[in-house]
Structure 1
Amino acid sequence: MELLPRDQIAFQRMLDTIRHTFEQFGFLPVETPVMELSEVLLTKSGGDTERQVYFVQSTGALDNAAAGDGGRPEMALRFDLTVPLARYVAEHEHDLVFPFRRYQMQRVYRGERAQSGRYREFYQCDIDVIGKDSLSPRFDAEIPAVIAAVFERLAFGDFTIQFNHRKLLRGYFEGLGIDGEQQLAVLRELDKLDKRGEAAVRATLAGEGFSLAANVVDALMAFSQVRSTGHADALAKLEAFPVGTALFEEGRAELRGVLAALQALGVPESRYALNLSIARGLDYYTGIVYETFLDAHPQIGSICSGGRYDNLASHYTKSKLPGVGISIGLTRLFYQLQKAGLVSGADSSVDVLVALMDDAQLPEALALSQRLRAAGLNVETQLEPRKLAKQMQYADRAGIRFVAIRGEDEAARGVVAVKDMRRNEQFESAAETLPERILEELKITRELQA
């Protein structure tokens, strides 16, 4: 995705908001290389991502392949941030402090089919908590609290974090006589309910390949339609189920704990709901699973998803490293928000444009710019004189709020004239006090916006 500067500023501010929120909840930054060993990336199971990997070869490697030394390229571009995290934790296991709380905000690469809103290079913003040997289900409740804080601050409108539990799902399947590998196949099919619709999923489950009895399919559809409309209703919906298998009861108990912790964390009950159709198609999820939706824009789809997994790095270490985490696909989300009219180009990151009326005033313009920068303001200086109207037009199109003007008249009176482009107002100030005056104006605006 390529953006014009003011849209790029809006995107960057979203990144900054997400980063700041992650850090407020005690997550630590991690970055991993864009290239990983192919054998590392291709150990992940489930989903279609492995078929979308970009392999990487140097020109020297290509020469060797042509000479008969070929084979699968040694390196590939990361297609998500979870597999690199698994490798990272396994590699640095003895140097990390557990539970390890990490956030990672980097580009990933997938061979997506070119279509609207789908990019081959895009940003993901992830958080994960990784435990050593065990990880309390209490962390399962902290993750949606982070999601809620992020999207409250981004202010795209009302949203709902919907969640389910793989243990509840698989325990329910057990009670219906669905066992072993068939559980994962049914689970993947239920995960397609929103895309394929109930009739198509019902036909697949009853048809060849699954051959589930009609009463079993009916029970699965009824289970998948359970939704809650508030905190008490979520608890009531859980209590309404009869006693199930041991796995089902374990999932029910963990969901009760998540609901209690969300209430203690002060997350508004309008921001979360039980949705027993949420399954998440990837095989490595073993506990709670999350999907987040904008209430007024369901067509955008999930804006943040994730869940609990038992053993992050089983391919790379014998240690048991359970974890829970979520991911925000920010590039696709930004595109969808633009399309829905929920984000637009931001004001420039430049606070002040120092105008230049003629060449003789350049030394004073440069000195004024430096004085403003020393106060912490971002300043652009016009280095070639132009008509004032042209300079105003430039500032307006670039989204620069203040234009500082020191022509002959202002110089004679020992002041600087400032045009506030946002308010379409003008004021004057002594050069020595100008930084404080502009900073005060910016402070007032931020307080009004808050």
Structure 2
Amino acid sequence: MRKLAIPALTAALALTLTAAPAPAHATRRPWVTAWGNAAQPATPSTPWYRPNWSQEGFARQGPETLRQIIRLTTGATAMRVRLSNAYGTAPLTIDAATIAQAGQGAATHRPRAMTFAGQQRAVIPPGQERLSDPIPLSVRPLDKLAVTLRFTNPTGPATFHHFAQAASYRARGDHLADTTGSAFTDTSNSWYYLTGVEVTSPRATGTVAAFGDSLTDGVGSTVGADNRYTDQLAERLIASGNPWGVVNAGIGGNRMLTDSPEYGTAGLTRFRRDVLERPGVRTVIIMDGINDLAEWNKPRQATARQIIDGHKELIRAAHARGIKVIGATLMPIKGAALAYSPAADAVRDQVNHWIRTSGAYDHVVDFDAIVRRPADPDSLRPEYDSGDGIHLNDDGYDVIAQAIDPHTL
């Protein structure tokens, strides 16, 4: 088998971040990431998931307005929005943007204008990100927000997040101030350009990042229901009085060791951008490697040693930033015909043994032991299976969220 090269994190994709200095009132407390996703390059729509608009981009035939709904994991007294053109090949021009409390569907309440270095318009060069100016806005944990962007010039292919498990809305023309949502007749279950919301709050003390592939991303959960395991972890933390933000840095189909034209930059490379450079991250939960060992990666299936070395590299990088690292075991794949083979499962078992026994992680959460079928440990319990033999349903994501001890975070 050909040896896979493990890219060094020092060669990670570097994004230049530009933002206006925050007003004095907004810098008294540190910024904490209260919502986020991981960016990936434009990719074709899949036949089993709603169409995405990443390859066509926006404003090809005149002005368009994009509205995206997100749920914050912690409260805030002020916030700023992170937009990305990481995979763009040309400057991205956003003519204007607003943020508002979300209503039903694409409806909103009292939108507020966002500015960038004091200007309504923002131009983001290819390969870069941009932060909005701080926005004084009080919200509670689990409040939903609508971020609306207006484009006049064609954007070209869009930096996006494919499996959002949430609806985004598009309208022809300028509908930035539309609070009814009636003009937003096109929908997609992906996010575009929007990669983070950072907040300040007397109670927000830090952020937990979850890093991995589709099982972190929440594929198999109910679209629009906020039932990824990270959503349910956030609800647990709020109920227990722990005001932490939670960021989902999973990408469906992503591999730890190698890039994919459809599923994004390798995990070892993107870890810096998607976890280490997020404001306020103090803990990361890593569940990664299934797509490297899966049967569909022949002839590039990774060995257990290569995946373990990848985990070690992630742990070293996080510890160098003072970030606590929790390792999650890899869950069963036997029911997924395209992923499973006896050889792939043998690699999974070796990786899981190392995660459980090596002591390399600060803590371990044994997701595999929780969701596997007792009579056939290589398979998911039927009550947790979304139907494809590899991804969890809402109950499955809930049970692994329940397994995480908040005190370990």
More helix by share: 1
State if a TM-score over 0.5 links the two structures: no
TM-score when scaled to structure 2? 0.25
TM-score when scaled to structure 1? 0.23
Question: Taking CA–CA contacts closer than 8 Å with sequence separation of 6 or more, which of the two structures ends up with the larger relative contact order?
Answer: 2
